[in-house]
Structure 1
Amino acid sequence: MRITEHYNITGPVPFVDVQIERDNLLFTHPTAIRNDLKSGLAASATARLGSYTAEVLRCRASPNAADQAKGLRLVKSGLNEPNETRLGYTRYGSQGHGWGPGLGSYLWNSLRNPLCRDGLLTGLDQLPVFIPRVGQDLISDMTTRLVFPELIDYTLQMAVQYPAMTRDLRKASFTVWDPTNRDWVTIQDVLPFVGGRQLLLVPKGWVSNKLLLAPRPYYNRFATTSVQEERIRYINGKADVPLKRDLHKEFPGVRELNVSQTLKAADKGTNLIELYTDFVDDGYEPMDDFELLRKTAG
């Protein structure tokens, strides 16, 4: 049963009309939020995401033991999987497989990546390009937890617009990111309570059905292209450029080449990650209503 069916709402709605009883194969994504021009909450959510990422990377780069301990705690303790949105992967119901302390430790260790030390990685959505095991579901979990306050505000705005939602409101405690204190804090607020748990509405423009910054496109468009530029030779005035298919055979490790070529380019004053992020932003188009309905079909 969709949200609109549960509340007898007719006509189009601005939120993702998910199936309440199970998870839906859509994912909140920082790139989608950053490029959402319709939601007034997008700027606040993007700033909150940036605040968390900056603090974790600061702690990772710090020689101070207290900062190291704090950074590890930030990625282990606050990023439990949120199931209020009913988005992401799961096998049964809307419980998912969760972020968990094990993956938190893995991410913290992975942030020893020289791209982090050199200040090249700046956003959560960039992590899958370079770090294995960080895919769309984990990015979605992290994003949802971090922009939770904006999603609460949005849900309560929708409850005003659709008063039937107010009949199910219940107070609960939530762990959220506080950019002022640069730490996780606990707040209390009300949300609709449906199907045995709170319901958090998500603006249509904040979701995607795929990774928007992904390792293979970066490898094809930027990493291997930079190798071609390094190896170009001119014979009798004609450019001799290695073929992409030959480079694919020579460099089968996609993320390994992504890292090494990004560092090489940075040494020469070019930030390939920034170029890729801008490229994706420039070409970004949100999912249309037909695709959203198809991905949330019963």
Structure 2
Amino acid sequence: MPTISNHYGIAGPVPFADVEIGADNRLYVDPHAIRLHRDPEPFAADALRCIDTFFHEVTNSIIVGTPTSRARGRALLQQFTEPWETRLGMAEAGFHGHGGAETVGTWIWDVLTGDAEAVVRVGVLRHVEDLPLFVEGVDRDITSDITTRIIFSPLADFTESMVHAYPQFHSGGHQTGTFTKQVWDPSSRAWGTRSITLPVADGKPLLLVPRSWARRTLLMSARRFYGTTVLSFAQLEQAVVDSNGKLLVSSKKFLRTHPDLREGRETNLRVTLRAIENEQDLLEAFKAFIASKIPPSEDATDAAA
């Protein structure tokens, strides 16, 4: 099937994810990629403001802890709809494939107010991209869907700028349309609606995504967190000093067989909480590790996990 550039006859490299128009594409919006790359501007800054104000409202509702605040926090997580306008992700793995947005929102809320509440209260779990590390069932598809809905307004602004930059979007028989969409308002810190003009491709609105925001895998995945930061902390926990003063550590391969350290989100959470007791923030360490591995100039769509 034709990509966006093929469909519209746009030549050369383009600044948006050039995905196939008529099919699901195995690329996903990664909120941590937006945070690391911080371009293009002003769209990246606007997107991060949306992401951070939204998640602050959710986590703050837990910290405040009143019935009213908790009801609001839960409701905020249950107002997502399938963001098919980007053509990113796999539909069966997103909201629709998991029983709908309300079900997914309930998963997240139950974990945040259950086992993970401690890491919320101490301010360790504070970003949307932290969710896949601890919430079972939330991986690249759900993270991408959630992020896309939260940053829909900045994505619409980016799309509008691309329509102005490339007249092919509204020439040669191609058209744009005006649609009313749900958006997150970072000023009022509430969901609202906005009238948005988007290209129409194959009879459906098309929302463009900056290239550096779309990846095949998440930078912050549960498996990567476990295999690097969690097991590294466990190595130091169990290290001993021999008679010669040499520090002896168990291999990660060996630690993976330990019943208390088997790979999984429960282990990620349990070890993260142990680290907090020792005044260590494993999420910050993990993010520093990721930043050291991903050059700012890297094209995220070409990056490996």
TM-score, length basis structure 2: 0.88
1:15 touches 1:203 (CA, 8 Å); kept in 2?
yes
1:29 touches 1:140 (CA, 8 Å); kept in 2?
yes
Q: 2:129 aligned with 1:122, yes or no? A: no
For residues 95 and 150 of structure 2, the distance between their equivalents in structure 1, rounded to whole angstroms, comes to 18
Q: Which runs of 5+ in 2 are unaligned?
A: none
Letter in 2 for 1:97: G
Letter in 2 for 1:62: V
TM-aligned CA deviation for residue 146 of structure 1: 1.0
For residues 95 and 125 of structure 1, the distance between their equivalents in structure 2, rounded to whole angstroms, comes to 17
TM-aligned CA deviation for residue 244 of structure 1: 2.0
What is aligned with 1:46? 48
What is aligned with 1:229? 236
Letter in 2 for 1:179: P
Q: Which of 238-247 and 65-74 deviates more?
A: 238-247
For residues 97 and 199 of structure 1, the distance between their equivalents in structure 2, rounded to whole angstroms, comes to 21
Where does structure 1 differ by over 3 angstroms across 4 or more consecutive aligned residues?
94-99, 285-289
What is aligned with 1:71? 73
For residues 263 and 95 of structure 1, the distance between their equivalents in structure 2, rounded to whole angstroms, comes to 29
Q: Which of 220-229 and 145-154 deviates more?
A: 220-229
What is aligned with 2:28? 27
Q: 2:280 aligned with 1:279, yes or no? A: no
Q: 2:166 aligned with 1:165, yes or no? A: no
TM-aligned CA deviation for residue 185 of structure 1: 0.5
2:62 touches 2:70 (CA, 8 Å); kept in 1?
yes
For residues 255 and 83 of structure 1, the distance between their equivalents in structure 2, rounded to whole angstroms, comes to 28
Q: Which of 132-141 and 196-205 deviates more?
A: 196-205
What is aligned with 2:182? 175
1:22 touches 1:86 (CA, 8 Å); kept in 2?
yes
1:88 touches 1:96 (CA, 8 Å); kept in 2?
no
For residues 105 and 38 of structure 2, the distance between their equivalents in structure 1, rounded to whole angstroms, comes to 32
Secondary structure, counterpart of 1:249 in structure 2: coil
2:133 touches 2:268 (CA, 8 Å); kept in 1?
yes
TM-aligned CA deviation for residue 228 of structure 1: 2.0
What is aligned with 1:97? 97
Q: 2:156 aligned with 1:155, yes or no? A: no
Letter in 2 for 1:233: V
What is aligned with 2:226? 219
2:33 touches 2:300 (CA, 8 Å); kept in 1?
no
For residues 154 and 220 of structure 1, the distance between their equivalents in structure 2, rounded to whole angstroms, comes to 36
- How big is each residue's C-alpha offset from its partner over 1:212-257, in whole Å with a ceiling of 9 and x where there is no partner? 1112222222222222212222221233322322211112143222
Letter in 1 for 2:275: A
Q: 2:280 aligned with 1:270, yes or no? A: yes
